[in-house]
Amino acid sequence: MDHFLYRDGVLHAEDVPVPDIARVVGTPLYIYSAATLRRHFQVFDEALAGMDHLICYSVKANSNVAVLKLMGDMGAGVDVVSGGEYMRAKAAGIPGERIVFSGVGKTRAEMRLALEGGIRQFNLESEPEMRALSEVATAMGVTVPVTVRMNPDVDARTHEKIATGKSENKFGIPIDRARAVYDEIRALPGLHAIGIDVHIGSQLTDLQPFRAAYEKVAQLTALLRADGHDITRLDLGGGLGIPYEHGNEAPPLPMEYGQVIRETVGDLDCEIEIEPGRLIAGNSGIMVSSVIYLKQGEGRDFLILDAAMNDLVRPSMYDAHHDIVPVTEAEPGVDRLPHDIVGPVCESGDTFAKARPLPPMKDGDLVAFRSAGAYGAVMASEYNSRPLIPEVLVDGDHFAVIRARPTYEEMIARDMVPEWL
Ligand code: LLP
């Protein structure tokens, strides 16, 4: 459920008409709903009720500091995968003891940064990384809690670019090496293994792969405990999918996901962490764009927008579907005709949707891309020298720009021409 609804034929973000925001801020832009973000956090919190747990929002989905502050204020922890994300979490006021550091290639500089600023745990992904963290922690005179990310070799049945839990993927350590790895950690100074980590992929629309992975985690917990390791924390990753085609898809609910957690690892007396990103941020955001031209092609009409693949890359990168809706609803009974919806960037890949039925549109009309709050703004680039688009947060009847649109001058000022040129 989200808070982007039509009232009197006009799309609203909570209580604010979308055209009002577009008028003030300009298009294209992202709009997020605070109420939806809060609700999605609460739904997970309720799903894990009764279990000792921490919801570590996955910063990569939407890393705006205002969004992180909103999450942090509700008691969320965060999952970060870079020094930059760590610094954003700190800038949002999230204490180190609620920050988990994941990722396959943490550098020594990133390890130092997090150890200086405080960290809940590192999720380690390889033996060389374990040894590097041991060296860094020892040099700083600290002992750091760690988990090891296991690769459970389960098929997440999602898009190949976002599946991570098969043995051929670069992520984690094969589960059959686990005992040797935990024994090595015990022998390394500066590290204390306190748990197990797993994350099998993103946009999962079936609970079975979660169940299969978490059953393996439960078995491993018993094995490692028998070896004398003090396993008290299980990080179960993120990945629960969202409906992108409203009305046509019904992925499992957080409550059902929570039940799988309860059934597989609920009685192990461990603190449970999960790292949802998309389910919290995805349907909490829309991207709003204006029609620049309606162009007639051979047998099809092109709707040329002021947003492009650099602003929202998911359709060209993953063939992802986003519902695209007119901000002002058409009169009932108006015919919908197929449109190819494209941006102005100079490649054919800059296509958001093909043959999408839309009522007649004209220059200046607004459209909204739904489900754009996760992996939207964070994956944007300045390709074709298009400045990054602004982000707005709505809360009830008011809104604020939470990232401004840079001017051309600001964008260009980062380049430097050497004086010898
Ligand atoms: N934890 C780890 C270690 C991850 O790698 C990810 C996502 C998450 C948590 C959060 O997963 P979520 O709950 O959001 O599914 N750019 C792609 C998605 C990449 C996901 C990468 N890892 C997309 O636009 O679909």
Q: Tens of pLDDT along 230-250?
A: 999 999 999 999 999 988 888
Enumerate long-range contacts of 105-113, CB under 8 Å, 24 or more apart: 105/129, 106/132, 106/133, 107/83, 108/132, 108/135, 108/136, 109/83, 110/82, 110/83, 110/86, 111/136, 111/137, 112/136, 112/140, 113/83, 113/86, 113/87
Last residue of a domain, one of 236, 260, 276: 276
- Tell me what the mean pLDDT of segment 308-337 comes to: 96
How far out from the chain centre does Cα 21 lie? 24
Residue 155, in any domain of the structure: yes
> Average pLDDT, stretch 269-274?
98
| Domain identity same for 209 and 322 | no
Domain boundary among 226, 252, 276: 276
Confidence band of 87 (pLDDT split at 50, 70, 90): very high
Residue among 1, 187, 346, 421 flagged as catalytic: 346
What value does the mean pLDDT take over residues 175-183?
95
Question: Structural domain of residue 371, as residue ranges?
Answer: 4-31+282-412
Report the DSSP pairing between strands 337-342 and 301-305.
Answer: parallel
Asked if pLDDT for residue 163 goes beyond 80, the answer is: no
- Is 104's C-beta closer than 6 angstroms to any atom of ligand 1? no
What average pLDDT is seen over the chain? Answer: 96
The pLDDT of residue 157 = 79
In this structure, are 121 and 85 located in the same domain? yes
pLDDT value at 299 more than 80: no
Position 170 pLDDT exceeds 90: no
Tell me the C-alpha distance between 46 and 255, whole Å. Answer: 8
Judge if 158 and 229 occupy the same domain: yes
Domain match, 320 and 247 both: no
Q: Measured from the CB, is residue 53 less than 6 Å from ligand 1? A: no
Q: Compute the 3-state secondary structure of the chain and give helix, strand, coil in percent, each to the nearest 5.
A: 35, 25, 40
Around 95, how many Cα atoms within 13 Å sit in the side-chain half-sphere?
5
pLDDT for 167 equals: 75
Average pLDDT in the 128-132 region?
97
pLDDT at residue number 361:
93
Q: What is the CATH number of the domain that holds 257?
A: 3.20.20.10
Write the CATH number for 309.
Answer: 2.40.37.10
Q: Would you say 145 and 120 are in contact if contact means Cβ atoms under 8 Å apart?
A: yes
* Predicted confidence band of residue 155 (pLDDT cuts 50, 70, 90): confident
Helix, strand, or coil (residue 185):
helix
Q: pLDDT grade, residue 171 (50/70/90)? A: confident
Q: Are residues 214 and 330 in the same domain?
A: no
The three state secondary structure string of 256-283 is HHHHHHHHHHCCCCCEEEECCCHHHHHH
Whether the pLDDT of residue 332 is over 80: the answer is yes
The finding on whether 121 has its CB within 6 A of some atom of ligand 1 is no
Cis before residue 152, ω within 30 degrees of 0? Answer: no
Same domain, 218 and 134: yes
Mean pLDDT of 12-36: 98
Are 232 and 288 in the same domain?
Answer: no
Nearest-atom index, ligand 1, CA of 276: 13
In a shared domain, residues 313 and 271: no
Report how far ligand 1's centroid is from the alpha carbon of 78 (Å).
Answer: 13
245, 320: one domain: no
Specify the range with the lowest mean pLDDT, choosing from 5-19, 20-34, 138-152, 154-168.
154-168
Annotated active-site residue 346? The verdict is yes
268, 363: one domain = no
Q: Which of 258, 276, 294 is the last residue of a domain?
A: 276
Residues 221 and 311 in one domain: no
Domains contained in the chain, number: 2
**Among all chains, which residue has been given the structure tokens 């099809």?**
300
The pLDDT of residue 86 is 98
Ligand 1 pocket mutation pick from 278, 318, 322, 371 by most atoms within 8 angstroms of CB: 278
In a domain, 57, yes or no: no
Q: Is a pLDDT exceeding 90 seen at residue 164?
A: no
Ligand 1 atom nearest the C-alpha of 375 is 24
55-77 mean pLDDT = 98
Is residue 36 in some structural domain? no
Q: How far apart are CA 391 and CA 9, in angstroms?
A: 24
